[in-house]
């Protein structure tokens, strides 16, 4: 259900379909629930959109375990390790390097936000905070068109 709403929300983003990622292009761990999502677009000369998500999954003991499982899921589907924006994050490129995903534990992402290393929409920041303080395994995920 969340995937359909998200796909509809980003359908008008950017100037070209190749510059618009969809949730279907992101392998998420089985059972994960999206509790917040925001689309960020740059409509300039190299228009693109990114999908920012907050994902929770109570099947894991911690956010670290959730992120480790996501890392395995991406590797199993042929995504290759890439350089993240901060030391608290992980990143991977899709097969064919069409898309890049960046992901982190709620604490790791909130640390980056607090220290000014990264910026995230308020909706994402608040959802990460709620997950962390509720002790629910939570991770931040951003899917974007690869620039390489």
Task: Note the pLDDT of residue 142.
Answer: 95
What pLDDT is stored for residue 9 in this prediction? Answer: 40
pLDDT per residue of the chain (148 residues) written in tens, 0 to 9: 344 333 334 344 444 445 678 888 899 999 999 999 999 887 776 666 899 999 999 999 999 999 999 999 999 999 999 999 899 999 999 999 999 999 999 999 999 999 999 999 999 999 999 999 999 999 999 999 876 5
As a three-state string, the secondary structure of 13-49 is: CCCCHHHCCCHHHCCCCCCCEEEEEEEEEECCCCCEE
* 144 touches 99 (CB < 8 A): yes
Q: What does pTM read for this prediction?
A: 0.83
pLDDT at position 22: 83
- Dihedral sign for Cα atoms in the order 24, 25, 31, 33: negative
pLDDT for the residue 19 = 64
Give the pLDDT confidence score for residue 24 in this predicted structure: 86
């Amino acid at each position: 259900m969340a995937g359909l709403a998200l796909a509809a929300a980003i359908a008008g983003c950017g100037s070209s379909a190749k510059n618009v990622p969809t949730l279907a292009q992101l392998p998420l761990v089985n059972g994960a629930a999206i509790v917040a999502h925001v689309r960020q677009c740059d409509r300039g000369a190299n228009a693109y959109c990114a999908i920012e998500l907050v994902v929770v999954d109570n099947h894991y003991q911690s956010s670290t375990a959730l992120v480790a499982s996501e890392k395995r899921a991406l590797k199993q589907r042929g995504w290759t390790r890439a350089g993240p924006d901060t030391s608290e994050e992980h990143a991977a490129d899709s097969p064919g390097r069409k898309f890049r995903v960046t992901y982190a534990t709620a604490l790791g992402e909130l640390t980056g936000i607090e220290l000014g290393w990264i910026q995230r929409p308020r909706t994402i920041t608040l959802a990460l905070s709620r997950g962390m303080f509720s002790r629910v395994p939570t991770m931040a995920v951003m899917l974007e068109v690869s620039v390489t």
